[in-house]
Amino acid sequence: HQCITAAESSRLNPYALHPDEYAILREHISHTQVTTYLNIRNGILRLWINNPRIGVSRDEAVGCAKDERWYDVASVCYDWLVRSGHINFGAAEIPAGRKPHKETKPLRRRKTVAVIGAGMSGLGCARQLDSLFKQYANEFNDMEQEPPRIIVLEGRDRLGGRVYSRALDSSKSPRILGFRGHRHSVECGGMIITGFERGNPLNILVRGQMALPYHALRPDAILYDTNGKAVDEERDRMVEKLFNDCLERVSDYKFKSAPSKLIEGNKDLIDEGRDSASEGHKSIADVEEATAALPQAPPISKQSLGPQVSLVPVSTDRATGRAHVEPGTPAAFKAAYKARSMGWTLKEDINEDNDLELGTAAKATAATLGSVVDEAINQYKNLVDLTAQDFRLMNWHVANLEYSNATNYHQLSIGGWDLDAGNEWEGKHTMVIGGFQNVPLGLAIAPSRLDIRKDTAVKKILYDPEGMAGSRIECEDGSVIEADYVVSTIPLGVLKHGSVEFQPALPIEKTEAIDRLGFGILNKIILVYDHAFWDPDADIFGCLRTPLSRHSLKQSEYASQRGRCFQWFNVSNTSGIPVLLALMAGDAGFDTEHSKNDELVAEATEVLRRVFGIKVPQPVHSIVTRWGSDKFARGSYSSAGPTMRIDDYQTMAKPVGNLFFAGEHTSSTHPATVHGAYLTGLRVASEVLGTMLGPI
């Protein structure tokens, strides 16, 4: 069982081959041997997950094969797991590579890899390269090369990029007394680690390697209405269901991606850790070639699953606003019928056959998630009686969705806005106590110190798109770095802004994807107090906002206000002092860029006073983030822009010659997240090593 859990924790299906494994093994093993292979692979993963402070050695991995005949396959599996970053990643002590079987040869010039950016993706990549180069030192020796040097170029004077735990400086706020000498910090950027139990690689780093303390967010969050009273839970649930149904109706217009081929082992045997008795003599490839002429089974259609389950129901997470898949009834049901089953009373002349007519909104060339959902909400108004409070509630959910996408939902693609839904992992959301930034810092120093040049802003990258000649990186301070391989983790916002020049210009497919993808703004207002006046046992609470003309039942009138301090985090547990953090999402995120701190703090205080009474004091210290004006970010994170194409994130990830791309905006499975950024760093490290050593 531990092997099964280890595979799941490593984001691998314990019972089926990953597409890469399939590509490596299809000519070498038979269908029946897949079971044996998976048992070996899951066993290696178990060794790793049981103690991720120390990397698994090749000998240990090979020992997972029960039979000598499988040693070679186990060794290949080990190579794949190491190179792809499924084991031996992060801040682990790394076992030495193969013993040199040839004499050490005279070495040629040492190659250089330059990584631009010391955020999670850049540091993740540099650390992984460092570790891979150690593990494959002998292979480099065979090529008469010393393992390459890695240099990280960072424009800021600090590490972590969009993970920024800003220290609360007691000298600036003399009233934060008693805290002098202690390191208190607040998260100005990425903060929440989602699905911490199983699958999130940050779990291994935070818990398994760095042993950082963390706080699991308590998910229940009260929503307060504008009069300061908690919203009736039942009403809240009804509105949320209606909102989710609007999102589901949009899912008919979603991008469809082809399901990937699944080569499975025998589940029962794998569960028991037993291998298949028979061996099978034809390789997977032979069998496939023999059956290629046979007609393929038709793809599974929504209807064939029966009317009761929907394949892609959508709802948004309360703490993060991110879309996730939940079992639900399909949008195919008539809206009025669904509304009634949610507990709504239908208007007098409406019966269960009445439906929404979203056709015109959805088929318009300029259709966006916002235009269609706004239309759906407006049409629901004709089926059931929606009050002004219902509109406030509905727009709180819109704000929450806009928060996770860092933009107004009229700037989101109807087909691709939730492309990553379904990839979420199990477990609570957590926050690192004492600062999330300790994770990138940990990568920078352990197990050995990386060569990181801070205050080194890159302004120009001259590269060879054919990958034959080396690259030249010019920095703002006049320094020049020659590199054989370049990894860019430059944020999408900076790429859009054009402040880093590529010579030659990036290929057109990439510049078009840069244009189509979105890069919006989420900002935070952080308020430090000398005592807590809120419920210390609640981590999150929401505040409904009114449009400029109060009691409006017009959806469009809510956009500018709904994201203003709509969601609050009590981060005292992780900061060590009484701190509240309010989100400015959607249009509000953008407005924050050119609003004055005093006005924002006054507005936030006003929102708090409605809930906690007029005694709410002025904060002793406050911080307002402005990620849009930040020269090294130019916004908060990427999103599915209105005209995006299904493979835009993959296009962002493609290398051009020896110029590689990592960063949050190159992850099609976990964009806009810290763990997603980290995984792209691992991916690119694997690509770079593959270019140097060739495939496994």
Indicate the helix (H) or strand (E) that contains 597: helix 597-612
Question: Which range binds ligand F2N by CB under 6 A, 40-48, 84-92, 113-121, 227-235?
Answer: 113-121
Residue 637 sits in the site that holds ligand F2N (CB under 6 A): yes
Q: Is position 636 an interface residue for ligand F2N (rule: CB under 6 A)?
A: yes
605 binds ligand F2N (CB under 6 A): no
Q: What is the DSSP string of 124-152?
A: HHHHHHHHHHHHTHHHHHHTT-PPPEEEE
Q: Stretches 143-151, 286-294, 377-385, 486-494: which one binds ligand F2N (CB under 6 A)?
A: 486-494
Only segment of 64-72, 170-178, 508-516, 624-632 that touches ligand F2N (CB under 6 A): 624-632
Is 85:123 a contact under the CB 8 Å cutoff? Answer: no
Strand ranges for 446-551 from DSSP E: 452-453, 458-462, 471-475, 480-483, 485-488, 501-503, 518-520, 523-528, 540-543
Question: Does residue number 435 form part of the binding site for ligand F2N (CB under 6 A)?
Answer: no
- Cβ 34 vs Cβ 278: under 8 Å: no
Report the residue number, 6 or 540, with the smaller CB distance to ligand F2N. Answer: 540
What binding mask, one character per residue, do residues 371-390 give for ligand F2N by CB under 6 A, x or -? Answer: --------------------
| DSSP state letter for 517 | S
In the complex, minimum distance from the CB of residue 469 to ligand F2N, in angstroms, rounded to a whole number: 22
Contacts of 94 (CB under 8 A, 6+ apart): 55, 88, 131, 134, 135, 447
- Amino acid of residue 684: V
User: Does an H or E element contain 34, and which?
Assistant: helix 33-50
Least distance from ligand F2N to the Cβ atom of residue 6, Å: 23
What DSSP designation does 483 have? E
The yes or no reply on residue 677 touching ligand F2N (CB under 6 A) is: yes
The dihedral built from the CA positions of residue 536, 538, 539 and 544, taken in this order, carries a sign that is negative
Given its phi and psi angles, is residue 160 left (phi above 0), alpha (psi -120 to 50 degrees) or beta? left
Is 35 a binding residue for ligand F2N by CB under 6 A? The answer is no
Residue 507, Cα to own-chain centre: how many angstroms? 26
Amino acid identity, position 81: L
Q: How far is the CB of 436 from ligand F2N (least distance, A)?
A: 8
Size of the site for ligand F2N (CB under 6 A): 44
Position 627 contacts ligand F2N (CB under 6 A): yes
Closer to ligand F2N by CB, 170 or 667: give it. Answer: 667
Which of 162, 324, 392, 621 lies at the binding interface for ligand F2N (CB under 6 A)? 162
Least distance from C-beta 432 to ligand F2N, angstroms? Answer: 11
Residue 163-192 contact track with ligand F2N, rule CB under 6 A, x = bound: x-------------------------xxxx
115/661 Cα distance (integer angstroms): 10
Q: Which stretch binds ligand F2N (CB under 6 A): 175-183, 269-277, 490-498, 595-603?
A: 490-498
Q: Looking at beta carbons only, is 83 or 156 nearer to ligand F2N?
A: 156
Task: Quote the Cα angle for 347-348-353, to 5°.
Answer: 70
Distance in Å, CB of 188 to ligand F2N, minimum: 7
Burial class of residue 423 (count of CB atoms within 10 Å of its CB; 0-12, 13-18, 19+)? middle
Q: Is 672 in the site for ligand F2N (CB under 6 A)?
A: yes
Count how many Cα atoms sit within 13 Å of the Cα of residue 690 in the half-sphere of its side chain: 17
Asked if 199 is part of the footprint of ligand F2N (rule: CB under 6 A), the reply reads: no
37 binds ligand F2N (CB under 6 A): no
**CB nearer ligand F2N, residue 310 or residue 316:** 316
What backbone phi and psi angles, to 5 degrees, belong to 74? -60, -35
- Full DSSP string of 494-509: HHHHT-SEEESPPPHH
Whether 207 contacts 214, CB under 8 Å: yes
Exactly one of 116, 150, 356, 362 binds ligand F2N (CB under 6 A); that residue is: 116
CB of 336: closest distance to ligand F2N in angstroms? 34
Map the footprint of ligand F2N across residues 121-160, applying CB under 6 A: 121-122, 153-156
| Position 404 contacts ligand F2N (CB under 6 A) | yes
Residues of the shown chain interacting with ligand F2N in the complex, contacts defined by CB under 6 A: 116-122, 153-156, 161-163, 189-192, 194, 320, 322, 404, 457-458, 489-491, 494, 500, 522, 524, 625, 627, 632-633, 636-637, 663-664, 672-675, 677
